[in-house]
Structure 1
């Protein structure tokens, strides 16, 4: 019996192009009817890029087809608004605090800090709105964001942003004669609420990681420290707040701040050990991940600022028989806090912005260190504008808020489901030229009997 070969290629008519529901392999115009696009706009392995919006069936121009352009609506882009956007509000809030604590006062210092504070409130509202829309329009992404091996690490960034705002309010409004007693008591209540929230989020995210993910030492990065960050800003917040409230209220805040700051720092210290082991056995991370190494110096910097500030406030709020020695306990605690801050400063040598002014106060306002802190503050402000501008540029160039571009991208064995389509192929499929369920005969590349 003679074998009649099936046609290798089929011509596409104009209606196919106008519907936008077919795939093109460039100049060959090969029609592969069994191929289906990913919901995120990423083609299957061995397939060309998609030429239309995920939900848009409008006509697609020939220029778009030749240029392999992908058109996503605003709603589709919001799907990829991930938790890492809250690191923007973390940085902006901390910048407002740094400006206000510059030791050399200048005209407009409070106004400039207030501008960054208000900007941070606007950005935080924007982040909450956008991520709420993401979860409202795509409910499945909420659970996915909590269990994704990378995105879940940044969930606490939202809590840290909230804590930073509380610290800003304490710094700019409490105890300066511009607010009443009601705000002071409100901030004390919010401080304790934040402590419970930070502890719950830190323990919860680590529990999710340990129960749903399997990591190897070669995958280790300092980002593993990030879930402990909500606890790490409690110390600095307690130090600021305790200096602006009554002594009988300040003492519990300092004791609680020391305790929770210690939990966060010790957890970070244990992750440090894993990171050093990873460096010894796997060498440095690849180039694109190396900037993340600076995350590892953050815990020491926050702990320095918190411990020294709380230690300086302690002598003024302890009762007569505190720990059986009264005021002597406050003096000893002050000296120990200063020495501990200097010791940790060596570990956080690259984290001058947060820690330098605190160390300068411990060294009787050491002039060289204060000048160094001012220089780094200027660099921090310039860096903030640069990074914010590059972030806007990345949105325009579709480097972020885009499928497979941010922390919600497919990695390892992680898969995200959307509209019944898997957004990533399994490793076995990735090694094949054609997806599972297809055949070379269906593609018209084999002859039939």
Structure 2
């Protein structure tokens, strides 16, 4: 009986040991994992627009996009489970000055899926692709608006921030709205005239909801870099995040401007002439932002080289290499189609290749870290319980 009891206890402990890691994964699952879906979905959309004809490229991009859907659904279930089973730890994210910024990654990851329904026209879905994309776009736009206001409100009321600790991570909740705007630019041509007009106008509103505020944060970022130099190595990849609002802003102007002539022409009255103005604004404004992005991209390259020399530890922040570069690449390719300027075509080709290389490297490290379960870390769990502090303040 003694040996049998010992064996039974050993089996029980082994089962508990095997079950605990998955529970810890759920407990430590944070929204920065959605940056994986941002980068993967954006790569799929970029490969689908690759300037040179390669056999099987569309199929590869489509497969990558479908894999991205699986990732997004999986991450959504894991994060929802954290809120169900580990509520106390999950709600601490609202007080964390860095991790809370990654709420913006959720709608931005969803936007890549919305765009894929329009770009790949899945044969198993057929004519339902556009209605699905339209429904998801409204969800994405609503999430982006809430995220773009709620997270800054938490910054102003619950979190501790300073210029010295400012990084480009601040941009994540803000940029979500302009990503939704660019997605609306892709959606509008597939809709009926009235619905297209609504999405187009809301797209411009979402663009304005995000871009001016994002540009003001970039000004603060330059000040922070001049006064306090580069951030610590763990945040080294955040250097590329500054390229995100610039690339997405340019892409949004080009796509919305390209829709405007036909959408406004379908309206009665003097609005028909507005479309040509919007088209011109898209070309000129998109090109201007593209030039502005060149400076930030060159700066990001210089900073990354320096970090690599000092030793750049891998973390999920490395996905910051992918999505910003992807939207800048998509903006470059969009400008190439509109203007026919060869420089944009060549630049888009080179950027797409770099993006694929970066994604391959980051995805490899991520798979390795996920397999060994070293990437499932929730920094907000190291914080004290906010409710205790509030009670003390009330006393």
> 1:271 aligned to 194, 217, 229, which one?
217
- Assess, with a 3 A threshold, how the Cα gap between structure 1 residues 357 and 260 changes in structure 2: closer, same or farther: same
Q: Distance in 1 between matches of 2:381 and 2:86?
A: 16
> 2:160 aligned to 214, 236, 246, which one?
214
Residue 129 of structure 1 pairs with residue 77 of structure 2 = yes
Q: Distance in 2 between matches of 1:356 and 1:196?
A: 28
> 2:277 aligned to 332, 342, 366, which one?
332
Q: So what's the TM-score if we normalise by structure 2?
A: 0.79
What is the CA-CA distance between 1:199 and the residue it aligns to? 0.5
Q: Indicate if the aligned counterparts of 1:97 and 1:171 stay in contact, CA closer than 8 A.
A: yes
Q: What SS is found at the alignment partner of 1:408? A: helix
- Assess, with a 3 A threshold, how the Cα gap between structure 1 residues 271 and 239 changes in structure 2: closer, same or farther: same
CA RMSD across the alignment: 3.0
Residue 357 of structure 1 pairs with residue 333 of structure 2 = yes
Counterpart of 1:297?
243
What is the CA-CA distance between 1:133 and the residue it aligns to? 2.9
Q: Distance in 2 between matches of 1:325 and 1:124?
A: 40
- Assess, with a 3 A threshold, how the Cα gap between structure 1 residues 112 and 57 changes in structure 2: closer, same or farther: closer
Q: Deviations over 1:17-71 (max 9, x none)?
A: xxxxxxxxxxxxxxxxxxxxxxxxxxxxxxxxxxxxxx9799x9xxxxxxxxxx9
Counterpart of 1:415?
384
Counterpart of 1:429?
none
What is the CA-CA distance between 1:393 and the residue it aligns to? 2.1
Which deviates further from its counterpart, 233-242 or 298-307? Answer: 233-242
Counterpart of 2:234?
288
More helix by share: 2
* Residues 22-421 of structure 1 mapped to structure 2, 5 A cutoff: 73-173=21-121, 179-180=126-127, 182-319=128-265, 324=270, 326=272, 328-349=273-294, 350=297, 351=325, 352-364=328-340, 366-396=341-371, 399-402=374-377, 406-408=378-380, 410=382, 414-415=383-384
Which deviates further from its counterpart, 213-222 or 128-137? Answer: 128-137
Q: What SS is found at the alignment partner of 2:126? A: coil
Q: Indicate if the aligned counterparts of 2:89 and 2:381 stay in contact, CA closer than 8 A.
A: no
- Assess, with a 3 A threshold, how the Cα gap between structure 1 residues 151 and 358 changes in structure 2: closer, same or farther: same
Q: Distance in 2 between matches of 1:56 and 1:178?
A: 47
What is the CA-CA distance between 1:345 and the residue it aligns to? 0.6
What is the CA-CA distance between 1:325 and the residue it aligns to? 5.9
Q: Indicate if the aligned counterparts of 1:342 and 1:359 stay in contact, CA closer than 8 A.
A: yes
What is the CA-CA distance between 1:416 and the residue it aligns to? 5.3
Q: Distance in 2 between matches of 1:228 and 1:132?
A: 23
Q: Indicate if the aligned counterparts of 2:261 and 2:276 stay in contact, CA closer than 8 A.
A: yes
Q: Distance in 1 between matches of 2:207 and 2:88?
A: 34
Q: So what's the TM-score if we normalise by structure 1?
A: 0.70
What is the CA-CA distance between 1:96 and the residue it aligns to? 1.2
Q: What SS is found at the alignment partner of 2:161? A: coil
Q: Distance in 1 between matches of 2:101 and 2:183?
A: 23
Q: Distance in 1 between matches of 2:133 and 2:371?
A: 39
Q: Indicate if the aligned counterparts of 1:304 and 1:358 stay in contact, CA closer than 8 A.
A: no
- Residues paired across the two proteins, number: 345
- Assess, with a 3 A threshold, how the Cα gap between structure 1 residues 236 and 220 changes in structure 2: closer, same or farther: same
Question: For structure 2, which runs of at least 5 residues remain unmatched after alignment?
Answer: 1-11, 298-324, 389-395
Question: For structure 1, which runs of at least 5 residues remain unmatched after alignment?
Answer: 1-54, 61-70, 421-449
- Assess, with a 3 A threshold, how the Cα gap between structure 1 residues 206 and 98 changes in structure 2: closer, same or farther: same
What is the CA-CA distance between 1:339 and the residue it aligns to? 0.3
Q: Indicate if the aligned counterparts of 1:247 and 1:318 stay in contact, CA closer than 8 A.
A: no
- Assess, with a 3 A threshold, how the Cα gap between structure 1 residues 205 and 338 changes in structure 2: closer, same or farther: same
Counterpart of 1:41?
none
Q: Indicate if the aligned counterparts of 2:264 and 2:271 stay in contact, CA closer than 8 A.
A: no
Q: Distance in 2 between matches of 1:292 and 1:105?
A: 33
